[in-house]
Amino acid sequence: MPSEDAAPQLDVDQILADPGVRIVVCCGAGGVGKTTTAAALALRAAEQHGRRTVVLTIDPARRLAQSLGLTELDNTPRQVKNIDVEVSGGELHAMMLDMKRTFDDVVLQHTDPAKAADIFANPFYQAMSSTFAGTQEYMAMEKLGQLHARGEWDLIVVDTPPSRSALDFLDAPARLSRFLDGRMLRLLLAPARSGGRSMFSLVTASFGMFSKVVQKVLGAQLLTDLSGFVAALDSMFGGFRQRAEQTYRILQARETAFLLVATPEPDAVREAAYFAGRLGEERMPLAGLVLNRVHRPAVDSLDAATSLAAADRLAEAGGHSGTVDALRAHAALAQRAHREKQVAARFGEAFPQVPAVSVPAQPADVHDIDGLRTIGAAISRP
């Protein structure tokens, strides 16, 4: 069985330095270090390669702000100070997606102030902009599209939303289109497109018993709120779909590089393999796999069995307890490293041409710029 070392070596520095690469998307299952990886790559692009970089995180834990020495992150890029860019001339900016504010900004950009006020006051909008399934992922696409369109950045690094399957970010445009094209939505839109009569009165006249059922289930006020929401957003729906499709095409372009992030655990590697398959189906450029938190024994030539046997012999002979403990600890680490190689090999067997790089497990959580530099150097090791 091949190990992860048999995979082609991923040269991350080559990606970060390439002026033709303008977007790096870090994706994978939750809890594998996507946020730290994204921040480390963005920092390295600025410090080592002189690129004006912005990192967009969707991490609600705000770990990125802490590690970059910022008191907070919000929907506006903030420059990271006290980094080493005197020689390179690069810059690093960071931001965290504010789902509702991004939705509000879209409304303000594409409607007049009076209609925007009506939309903001609508209960359905308030719910959809804050909690509607898929809104976070779609707004991440919106924000990426906005940053790309501004043309201010040499490189945009995206930390994709946390989700079990890590597919929601790619699926958001399709889900939005299905929602906008749904039969019920078209039915609700029909009154708004038919001369301004209220949704409820028109449906009552046109559909009889159906409207009574809808009113009974939803209630008259709820139905009125829904009608107002749909009517107010009607003129914007085409723009939503168009922008989503445009961003989707950007993600397919050669200026984008997807990096899968995983740990050598069965679930994480399974998710990475599934996502690699999806990227292939969607014709999106997969640059490689970053395998985080990999364990390696200090002495590769001493396997677990030999180490345990030596520990047992020393213990029986009354040898130094510290040496016995060290040998047993080495054996446990060697066994763990062997299991991790076996797990990682499953991805290599399925995608033998995908370059990979292993990042050693760190003794402590990354919480500052120096820690991010260490991670960036490990990821970018040739």
Domain boundaries of the chain, sorted by first residue:
4-302+327-379
C-beta atoms surrounding 76 within 10 Å = 10
Our CA angle for 11, 161, 351, nearest 5°, is 40
Q: Residue 256: enclosing H or E segment and its boundaries?
A: strand 256-262
Q: Pairing relation of β-strands 78-79 and 91-96? A: antiparallel
**3-state DSSP call for residue 265?**
coil
pLDDT, tens digit only, all 382 positions of the chain: 344 446 689 999 999 999 999 999 998 888 899 989 999 999 999 999 999 999 998 766 666 777 887 777 888 899 999 899 999 999 999 998 888 888 888 888 878 888 888 888 887 778 777 766 567 777 888 888 889 999 999 999 998 876 554 566 677 666 665 665 555 555 555 554 444 444 444 444 444 444 454 444 445 566 666 666 666 665 666 677 777 788 889 999 999 999 999 999 999 999 899 889 989 998 999 999 999 999 988 888 888 899 889 888 888 888 778 888 888 888 899 899 999 999 999 999 999 999 999 999 988 888 889 999 999 999 987 5
Look at residues 141, 134, 222, 237 and name the one whose alpha carbon lies nearest to residue 185. 237
Give the separation between CA 376 and CA 12, rounded to whole angstroms: 9
Name the pTM for this structure.
0.82
Structure tokens at 264: 């050598």
CATH annotation of 4-302+327-379: 3.40.50.300
